[in-house]
Every structure is written in C-alpha cells, then in structure tokens.
Structure 1
Amino acid sequence: MSELRKLVIAIDGPAGAGKSTIASRLARKLGYVNLESGAMYRALALKAIENDVSFDDSASLLRLAESSRIELQPQIDGNRVLLDGQNVSRRIRERDVTEGASRVSVHPPVREWMVARQREMGVNGGVIMEGRDIGTAVFPDADLKIFLDADPTVRAERRIEQNAAKNDEAAAKALREDLLRRDQRDTTRTASPLVPAADAIVLDSSKLGIEEVLTRIEQLIAERSKA
C-alpha cells in the first residue's frame, strides 16, 4: 500500500450546516490542522467593534486587518483564537461579533487580505479548512472539496440548540432571522459568493447525523490520499 499523502481539504457551506464540528473532528482524527476561516473574520469584526470602526468602511477595515495578528491554535475542543496575543475564543462566538463577521466579509479588499493569510497557513498541506469560499477562492486546487449543506429550517434549529435558545422564543426567532440574513449576504455578495466549487462534492446533512457525515468524508479522504 502506498504511503498516504497529506491533503488540503476544503469544506464550504452555509451557517449551521455543521462545517466547524466536522472540520474539527476530522482534523483531530487525521492529525491535520483545522484552519477556521470564519474565526479570522470574527476576530476582525471584534477588533472593529473594540475600535469603533464601521462594518461598512472597507478602507478602515483593511487598515485594521493589516495591523492585526490573528492566530489559530488547534486544541482538543477546537481552535483557540488569539487576537493580538489575547485569547478571544469565546468572545468571537457572541451574537454581535457573529453578525459583524458576516458584514466585514463582504468587502473585497478585506477578503483578499484574509485569503493571502489563509494560503500562507495551508501552504504545506495537512490542513482542513472550512468556510464559505475555500474551494472556490482560497484553495481552488484543494485535493478534496466538500460543500456541506442542509435545509435552512434544519440549520436554524441547530443554531437554536447550540445557543440553548429552545425555551426562549424571542431568542430563537432572532437566531432564525440572523441565519436568513447571513444566507442572503453570503450568496449575493460580489466578492466570492457562497456557491459550491464546480468540482466539489455536495453533501446534504439535513437528515444525516455527525457520524454519518464523518464516515462519508473519511471514505473520500482515504480515496484521495492513495491517489
């Protein structure tokens, strides 16, 4: 049997499809690095909030990005995210930052800067990177491209469960509306809209559990590793 190659694996898809969970678990199992592009946009959004920079000010956001140091440190339970040396792993998951990340990501100069950093991180392979334009813009030559999708209703319910909002109808409604707004922005933005790469394998996780999705992707990885 030939020695297995270390691959570049791209996992794209909308919010709530399960990308982060799948990428994190696969990375741990394979001994790969999990490059979470969304965490990088979240970190920039947080810095914009802290510096009172408008999410609509492309030039100021780019200057902010260029003066930032964003690091992803793999941990057992996912990435530890450092912004200018400070651990912001929890803060960037809060709702205001989540909303901000979607808004800062629409600016082409910001995306270009992020893509350059992300390519640097994955240059040596052995990486799983998840986001919304990994297979189309960041790593168009990735060894394996997965587009992980799910019905919007299913994705919204997953987000509600993640945020323990099942018994809070107002919070649940806000999460559903946030997800729909993000879908709209992600699919209609000028820079790298959310679409499957032409050679991506589309997996619908609406009726699949995490283990079923993992098994399918692991089979694909095994096939590509031997090629």
Structure 2
Amino acid sequence: MGKLLQVAIDGPASAGKSTVAKLVAHKLNYIYCDTGAMYRAVTWAAIHDGIQLDDDESIEMILSNINIKFVPSTEGQRVFVNETEVTTEIRMPEISNNVSTVAAQVSVRKYLTDLQQKIARTGGIVMDGRDIGTTVLPSADVKIFMVASVKERALRRYKENIEKGIQTPLEILEREIEERDRKDSTRTISPLVKAVDAVQLDTTSLTIEQVVDKIMKIIEKKA
C-alpha cells in the first residue's frame, strides 16, 4: 500500500470501535490512536482534582498541566496521566458514566482535537472516536461509522466488566449506554453523527474478525 492513509472509525459507546481499530492498525502496520482513552484520561484528572465536571473554565485550567501518554506493552496499550498510570482506572464505571459530560466541554474538545490532528498529520494512522470523520479528520481517506443495537452493546460491556471483576446488571448497562448515546448525540460541540461520506457498518450480528475483514476490504478499495 503506497500512500499512508488516515482511517477514521466512529460510532457510539461499545460498538467495538477500539478493538477493531487496533486490529486494523496492526494489519496495516499503522499507528493506532485511542481518542476515547484521551477523553477518559482528562475525566480521570478532573475527578482526581475534585473539579466540577461541567465547569469548562475549571477544567481548562488543568489541561495545560496534563500530559497524556500511551506506552505499548505485551498486555496492550498502557495509559499515563503525567507519571501516573491510569490504564485500569479510566475503564471503571465512574469514568464511563461521566466522560460524556467532560467531553462536551469546549476547552476539552479543542485541546484534544488539536492534539489528535497533530498525531494524524502525516497519515499512517487509524483513529477511533465519536467525531473523527466529522471534526478531527474531516478529510480522512477512509471513514467508517460502526453501529450496533443497545442490547448487543450492553451485552459486550457486561462481558468486559465481568472479566474485570465489575458486577453491573445488564439492565443498568443498557440504561447507561442509552444515556451516553443521548449525551453524545445532543451535545453542542462535535456531536456523535455519521459523516456524509462514511460507510456505515452494523456490527450487531458480526464477529470482530468479520468487521475487521469488511473494513480492510473498504481500505483496499480506497488504496
């Protein structure tokens, strides 16, 4: 494959974006950028500092002192905020249930969008999130919008939580995902929406391997 492409993968919570994006990046030998982990890291920092999560001015004040770093490891990507590893903490329910509020703040979106655009500038990247194809990389070479039913996404989150030792009833997870969808789709800044030139993939009844295969075929056609 000649030109180094920008691949944008968007979609709602627990649609399988991160898992698929990592595998696609590996197949292409591209960089993988987990933008969701960036928003979770800022959310962790705000909670850690006791900041009101919808107070844009207060959150903006801490952004200049936050250094988000990804470190590859045999167990997967490790995430650090300054020198503190937050890999496990940012996947806890407290973060999952508050990240949409933090992500809706103007200062946070500007700060992270600028950072993500710098990372993707030279191409050779697979980036997943909510607004990659619409705001972060509007000129991306390939845009995918992954969707799945709420029930399926809640079941996926339930299985992930069980593996982590987190016991949350499936019905509660369904309500939480519906609420995240509402927040992400109705926020004023960069709402969750399918880019007009994105290819939509419904992953409800597909395996991870099938989704990756479909995306690779889309990329190969583009290349």
Q: Distance in 1 between matches of 2:167 and 2:71?
A: 35
Contact 1:28 1:76 in 2 (8 A): no
Q: Distance in 2 between matches of 1:172 and 1:117?
A: 35
Contact 2:161 2:168 in 1 (8 A): no
Q: How does 1:47-196 map to 2 (within 5 A)?
A: 47-164=45-162, 171-196=169-194
Change in CA separation of 1:19 and 1:76 when aligned onto 2, cut-off 3 Å: farther
Q: 1:28-85 deviations in whole A, cap 9, x for unaligned?
A: 2221111011100100111111100011111111111222001123445542211102
Q: 1:119-161 deviations in whole A, cap 9, x for unaligned?
A: 1111111110000000000000001000000111111111111
1:170 Cα deviation (Å)?
Answer: 5.3
Q: Distance in 2 between matches of 1:5 and 1:169?
A: 45
RMSD: 1.8
Contact 1:24 1:78 in 2 (8 A): no
TM-score, structure 1 normalization: 0.92
The one-letter code sitting in structure 1 at the alignment partner of 2:135 is A
Match of 2:198 in 1: 200
Change in CA separation of 1:171 and 1:59 when aligned onto 2, cut-off 3 Å: same
Contact 1:187 1:195 in 2 (8 A): yes
Change in CA separation of 1:192 and 1:41 when aligned onto 2, cut-off 3 Å: same
Runs of 4+ in 1 over 6 A off after TM superposition: none
Contact 2:10 2:146 in 1 (8 A): yes
Contact 1:34 1:74 in 2 (8 A): no
Contact 2:132 2:138 in 1 (8 A): yes
Contact 2:154 2:173 in 1 (8 A): yes
Which structure 1 residue ranges, 5 or more long, are not aligned? none
Change in CA separation of 1:52 and 1:29 when aligned onto 2, cut-off 3 Å: same
Q: Distance in 2 between matches of 1:169 and 1:64?
A: 32
Contact 1:33 1:74 in 2 (8 A): no
Q: Distance in 2 between matches of 1:95 and 1:137?
A: 27
Paired residue secondary structure (2:2): coil
Q: Distance in 2 between matches of 1:40 and 1:20?
A: 13
The one-letter code sitting in structure 1 at the alignment partner of 2:219 is I
- The count of residues paired between Structure 1 and Structure 2 equals 222
Q: 1:83-133 deviations in whole A, cap 9, x for unaligned?
A: 102221111111111122111001122101110011111111111000000
Which structure 2 residue ranges, 5 or more long, are not aligned? none
Match of 1:44 in 2: 42
